[in-house]
């Protein structure tokens, strides 16, 4: 049976898909026959008239694998699934997962197995990561993303629970200002606790960016100009509620930033358009005037109209830029390069016996 590697995390949106794709693409390039599986799907969606986990389907397609989707994702968390679990109806999901894994791993050198959420997700139905790892006999790499602070306690608890099965940790999204502390203090600390740090991934604004088309969809808005230019990437945002002179000063310091502004602030809108802003989000469901529409079309600046007020949109934007899924091809390439350049593949392959 093929060697199996489980990609877990300390929290949702930590970078499991990026790590899975980065490892998978690198090992494929090195000539290994790869299989992929996401035992428990938590992001149900429809694909070719079949309900599948959207993340699993996406990773499978990027890796160029044509495995049966019902085996790649044998358990899908739907509302009906939850109701059955809450009412005490016990299905032998682990057995189904084990059979799917055995089938998928035939004729492969290695199986990549991706977790859902964090590693205790699924505890209520007996499908937490620890149960699956034990059932399938997998090795484990855990990714931890900096979000105000690192999850040192969680990594140590995982190591105590997994023992030698945990090959190490990958620390994600570290800004340059914190990198020295991570390498000189955090990494030695974790390694003294028996947790090898297999990689430290620097913060890359592109990885938390979103294109204007996806932004419009996620905000429940609509594009009213320059739809053909709506694939540009937004890495941050500015709120245009200040006086136009002050706004101009801030705007010049932030490239690739969307501008959130009330639909009645044509002065700020025009500055953003003339400054080649990647996109403008007009709040309050106010339509832009003809001059703004004309300049935006001429210069190729997408304008998104939304119903919500500026404060509500700003809160949504903050969450989106932290949690937006890895989907754009430019982000896939960048993520794969980050993993290839910063992950210790020699140590990883040694731990996997490859």
C-beta separation of 107 from 33 below 8 A? yes
Q: Are residues 111 and 44 in the same domain?
A: yes
Q: What is the pLDDT of residues 310-328, one digit of tens each?
A: 888 888 877 777 665 556 6
Q: Are residues 50 and 174 in the same domain?
A: yes
Q: From CA 8, how far away is CA 11, in angstroms rounded?
A: 9
pLDDT given for residue 83 in this prediction: 85
φ, ψ dihedrals at 299, nearest 5°: -95, 0
- Residue 273: strand, helix, or coil: helix
Q: What is the pLDDT of residues 159-179, one digit of tens each?
A: 999 999 999 999 998 999 999
Among residues of the chain, what percentage have pLDDT more than 90? 34
- In this prediction, residues 26-31 reach a mean pLDDT of 92
CATH code of the domain containing 239? 3.40.1390.20
Q: Are residues 46 and 170 in the same domain?
A: yes
Q: Are residues 122 and 252 in the same domain?
A: no
Handedness of CA 120, 126, 130, 136 (dihedral sign): negative
Domain residue limits at 115: 3-205+325-352
pLDDT given for residue 295 in this prediction: 85
Looking at the DSSP bridge assignments, the partners of residue 172 are 145
Q: Are residues 219 and 162 in the same domain?
A: no
pLDDT given for residue 48 in this prediction: 66
pLDDT given for residue 143 in this prediction: 95
- In this prediction, residues 245-255 reach a mean pLDDT of 67
Q: Are residues 278 and 333 in the same domain?
A: no
CATH code of the domain containing 14? 3.40.50.300
C-beta separation of 73 from 54 below 8 A? no
pLDDT given for residue 327 in this prediction: 62
pLDDT given for residue 49 in this prediction: 66
Q: Are residues 219 and 274 in the same domain?
A: yes
- CA torsion angle 71 72 77 81 (round to 10): 0
Q: Are residues 71 and 184 in the same domain?
A: yes
Q: Are residues 74 and 187 in the same domain?
A: yes
Handedness of CA 257, 260, 263, 266 (dihedral sign): negative
SS3 per-residue string spanning 282-316: EECCCCCCHHHHHHHHHHCCCEEECCCCHHHHHHH
Question: CA angle at residue 75 from 74 to 79, to 5 degrees?
Answer: 150
Which structure tokens are listed for 161? 């629970």
Residue-averaged pLDDT of the chain: 85
Q: From CA 38, how far away is CA 54, in angstroms rounded?
A: 11
Q: From CA 21, how far away is CA 17, in angstroms rounded?
A: 6
Q: Are residues 298 and 196 in the same domain?
A: no
Among 183-192, 211-220, 322-331, the minimum mean pLDDT is found in 322-331
Q: What is the pLDDT of residues 127-140, one digit of tens each?
A: 899 999 999 999 99
Q: Are residues 161 and 182 in the same domain?
A: yes
In the chain, how many domains are there?
Answer: 2
pLDDT band at 182 (very low <50, low <70, confident <90, very high): very high
pLDDT at 41 over 90: no
Residue 80: closest CA among 89, 71, 69: 89
pLDDT band at 20 (very low <50, low <70, confident <90, very high): very high
For residue 262, the tally of other CB atoms under 10 A from its CB is 17
- Residue 29: strand, helix, or coil: helix
pLDDT band at 283 (very low <50, low <70, confident <90, very high): confident
pLDDT given for residue 12 in this prediction: 84
pLDDT at 284 over 70: yes
Stronger pLDDT, 134 or 51, i.e. the higher one: 134
Q: Are residues 120 and 18 in the same domain?
A: yes
- Sequence-distant (6+) residues with CB within 8 A of 328 are 211, 231, 233
């Amino acid at each position: 049976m093929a060697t199996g590697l489980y990609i877990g995390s300390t929290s949702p949106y930590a970078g499991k898909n990026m790590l899975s794709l980065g490892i998978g693409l690198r090992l494929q390039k090195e000539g290994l026959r790869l299989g992929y599986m996401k035992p428990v799907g938590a992001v149900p969606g429809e694909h070719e008239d079949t309900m599948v986990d959207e993340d699993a389907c996406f990773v499978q397609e990027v890796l160029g694998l044509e495995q049966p989707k019902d085996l790649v994702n044998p358990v899908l968390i739907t509302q009906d699934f939850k109701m059955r679990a809450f009412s005490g109806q016990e299905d032998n999901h682990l057995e189904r997962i084990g059979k799917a894994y055995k089938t998928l791993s035939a004729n492969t050198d290695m199986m990549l197995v991706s977790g859902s959420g964090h590693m205790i997700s699924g505890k209520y139905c007996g499908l937490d990561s620890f149960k699956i790892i034990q059932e399938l006999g997998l090795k484990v790499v855990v990714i931890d993303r900096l979000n105000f602070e690192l999850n040192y306690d969680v990594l140590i608890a995982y190591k105590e629970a997994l023992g030698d099965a945990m090959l190490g940790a990958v620390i994600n999204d570290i800004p340059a200002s914190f990198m020295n502390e991570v390498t000189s203090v955090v990494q030695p600390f974790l390694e003294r606790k028996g947790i090898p740090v297999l990689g430290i991934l620097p913060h890359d604004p592109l990885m938390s960016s979103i294109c204007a088309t996806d932004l419009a969809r996620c905000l429940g808005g609509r594009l009213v100009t320059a739809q053909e230019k709506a694939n540009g990437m937004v890495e941050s945002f500015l709120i245009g509620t200040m006086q136009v002179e002050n706004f101009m000063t801030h705007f010049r310091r932030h490239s690739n930033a969307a501008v959130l502004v009330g639909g009645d602030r044509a002065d700020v809108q025009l500055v953003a358009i003339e400054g080649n802003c990647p996109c403008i989000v007009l709040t309050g469901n106010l339509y832009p005037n003809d001059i703004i529409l004309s300049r935006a079309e001429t210069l190729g600046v997408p304008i998104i109209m939304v119903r919500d007020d500026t404060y509500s949109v700003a809160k949504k934007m903050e969450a989106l830029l932290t949690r937006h899924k890895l989907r754009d091809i430019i982000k896939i390439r960048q993520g794969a390069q980050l993993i290839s350049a910063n992950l210790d593949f020699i140590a990883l392959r040694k731990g996997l016996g490859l």
